[in-house]
Structure 1
Amino acid sequence: MTTSFTSPLPEELDTLWERRMELTPDHTEAREVIVGAVDELDAGKARVAFVDDATDEVVVDERAKRAILLSFRVLAMQEAAVGDFQYHDRIPLKTRLDGVRVVPGAIARWGSYLAPGVVLMPSFTNFGAWVGSGTMVDTWATVGSCAQVGENVHLSGGAGVGGVLEPPQASPVVIEDGAFLGSRSMVVEGARVRTGAKLGAGTILTSSTRVFDAESGEELARGEAPAWSVCVTANRVKSFPGGDFGMPCLLVLKRLEAGQEHDKLALNELLREHGVNA
C-alpha cells in the first residue's frame, strides 16, 4: 500500500486482524464491522486494488483483503437452495445486480462488485473481485478472488483470471480497460494485462512469465502484457544440464498506437497466421 493511500474502510479492521484467531460467529460487534466493510466492496464504494494514475502502480488496500479474510472467521455456515441445487457455505451469493445482465448459470459471490452494464454468461465471479462497466464474462470464464477487471473487457469462453487473498499485501491480477482474453487464456499470480492488450487463445501469463517483442527480440517487463498489443504464448529455448528445452514465454506480435482500436478481421488474420485463434 502506498503512503499516500488511505483506505475508506474503518481502522477497526486492523485491530480485528491482530486478534483474528480468537474471532467466531459469536462476536457480534466484530461481525457487524466486517460485514459492513464487505458490503462497501459489494457496492463498489471500496475495492481491493486499483491502478494509481500518478505512478502507474497497482495499489492494494490491505484492509479490504483483511475484511474478506476476517469474514470467514465471523460468518457461520448456512444452507441455501436454488431450485434443486443445494449449497452449504459461509459466503452468500451476490444480490446487488442493478444494471447487470446475469444469464442463468452465472454465479457471483457477495463482496464482488459488478458495475452496471456487465454481462455474466454462465461463469463464476469470486469474493472481492471488481468488474467494470461494459465487460463480458463469457461462458465458463472465472474471475478469481480480488481480481480487478476494467471496463469494456472481454473474457472469452473458459478464460481464467486468477485470485489472491493471502498474504494481504500481495497484488491481485489486474486486467485493464479494453483488454481481450482469448478462449482458455489464463492470467494468474498478480500478472497484469494493460489497457487494450489482446491475448490469443490459450495464452498463459503469470507474474514470472518472461515477455519478448517479436520484432526486436527485446525483453520487456515480466508478467505484463503491454498496452495496445497482441500477445500469444510462445517458447524460448533454454539450455539445462539435461539438454535444451522450450520454456514458455509471452510473445508480443504487434503493437498499436495508444487508443487505436484493433481491427477485428485483421486481428483474427494475424493470430491465424501464427497458428492461434482468438
Structure 2
Amino acid sequence: MPRSASVPAPLQCEIEELWKRRAELTADDPAALAAVKEAINLLDTGVARVAELVDGDVVVHEWLKTAILLLYKLARPSESGFGPFECADRIPLKSGIAGSGVQVSPGAVIRWGSYQAPGVVVMPSHIGIGSYVGEGTLVDSWVGIGSCAQIGRNVHLSGGVGIGGMIEPPTARPVVIEDGAFVGARSMIYSGARVGAGAVLGAGALLTDSIPVIDAATGAELGRGEVPAWTVAVPGTRPREFAGGTFGLPCVLVIKRLEPGQRHDKAMLNDVLREKAPHI
C-alpha cells in the first residue's frame, strides 16, 4: 500500500500486520491500541491523509483507513461532554483547536482524527474521523462531512450539504472536493464522487459514482460521479423508459464552462464571508 510523506514506514508495517490478525485483537491489547492511536494522531494533525490527489488521480492510503477501523474495534467507549449533552463514544472530540487558526462556532462537532487547516471556518456542523479540510474552507451550518472525505482549500460547503463517508472497504475512494469548489445548499455527494477544482455545483444536487454528468449544450455524457473542474453544474433529470412508464432519473447538468481561475458570483460571496470571519 502507498505511504503518505513524513510517515514512518515501521508504523505502516505495524498497522498492516495488526489488520491481518484483526480477528484475534481485543481491547485488552494496549500495544495494538497505542500503534493505532499513533496513526490516528497523524491524521488529526494533518501529517498524513487517508487520500490525496497525485497527478490528478485520487490515491488512497489504505493502511490509514484500516487504522480507523481498528480503532473502532480496540477503543472502549468513554464519556464526554458536549454542551448540555452527554456522549459515550469510542472516538473522542477533537481537542487543541484554540490557537490553531481554525474558527469553530458553537454547535460544531469535530471528531478526533480529522484535520482542519488554518483559516477554516466551521459553523454548527459535523466532521468525521479521517476527513481533511483544507486551508480557508468554509463549512457552513448543518453540513455533514463523513469519515475520510477530502475537502480542498478555499472550498465553500453551503448550508445542509451532505458529504458521504467512505471507510469500508479500505480500497474505496472517498469523496473529494477539490480546491476552490462551491457546493450549493442541500447538495448530497456520496460514494466516492468528486467535484473538480473551481467548479460550482448548484443547490440540491445529488452526486454519486453512478449519477451521470451531462453536457447540457450537447447532451453528451461526460462521465459519472465527477463534476469537471471550472464548470457550473446544476441538478437535473433525464427520462428513462421502464415497464411501468417513463420516469425521470437524477443527473447533473453542466450548463457553463469557466476559464481556469475565473470565479463565479456565488464563489465570490465566499470571499466576503471569509473577510468578515476573524480567525482565532
TM-score by length of 1: 0.91
Matched, 1:92 2:92: yes
2:3 corresponds to: 6
2:50 corresponds to: 48
Task: Give the superposed CA RMSD.
Answer: 1.5
Structure 1 residues 112-261: aligned runs within 5 Å: 112-261=114-263
Does the CA contact (< 8 Å) of 1:149 and 1:176 recur in 2?
yes
Matched, 1:66 2:63: no
State the AA in 2 paired with 1:222. Answer: R
Q: What is the Cα deviation at residue 109 of structure 1? A: 0.2
Unaligned runs of 5+ in 1: 268-278
75-84 vs 142-151, greater mean Cα deviation: 75-84
State the AA in 2 paired with 1:216. Answer: T
* Helix, strand or coil at the partner of 2:71: helix
Mapped to 1, the partners of 2:78 and 2:64 lie a distance apart of 23
TM-score by length of 2: 0.90
Unaligned runs of 5+ in 2: 270-280
Does the CA contact (< 8 Å) of 1:43 and 1:96 recur in 2?
no
Does the CA contact (< 8 Å) of 1:197 and 1:230 recur in 2?
yes
- For these two proteins, the number of residue pairs brought into alignment is 262
Mapped to 1, the partners of 2:257 and 2:232 lie a distance apart of 6
Does the CA contact (< 8 Å) of 1:42 and 1:96 recur in 2?
no
2:272 corresponds to: none
* Helix, strand or coil at the partner of 2:65: helix
Query: Taking structure 1 as reference, are residues 121 and 166 closer, same or farther at Cα in structure 2, changes over 3 Å only?
Result: same
1:271 corresponds to: none
Query: Taking structure 1 as reference, are residues 67 and 266 closer, same or farther at Cα in structure 2, changes over 3 Å only?
Result: closer
Does the CA contact (< 8 Å) of 2:177 and 2:194 recur in 1?
yes
State the AA in 1 paired with 2:66. Answer: R
State the AA in 1 paired with 2:3. Answer: T
Mapped to 1, the partners of 2:267 and 2:185 lie a distance apart of 17
Mapped to 2, the partners of 1:162 and 1:82 lie a distance apart of 23
Mapped to 2, the partners of 1:171 and 1:92 lie a distance apart of 25
CA offset digits 1:150-199 (Å, max 9, x no partner): 00001100001110111000000000000111110010000000001111
Does the CA contact (< 8 Å) of 1:107 and 1:125 recur in 2?
yes
Mapped to 1, the partners of 2:24 and 2:101 lie a distance apart of 40
Q: What is the Cα deviation at residue 265 of structure 1? A: 9.7
Query: Taking structure 1 as reference, are residues 149 and 266 closer, same or farther at Cα in structure 2, changes over 3 Å only?
Result: closer
Mapped to 2, the partners of 1:188 and 1:67 lie a distance apart of 22
2:30 corresponds to: 28
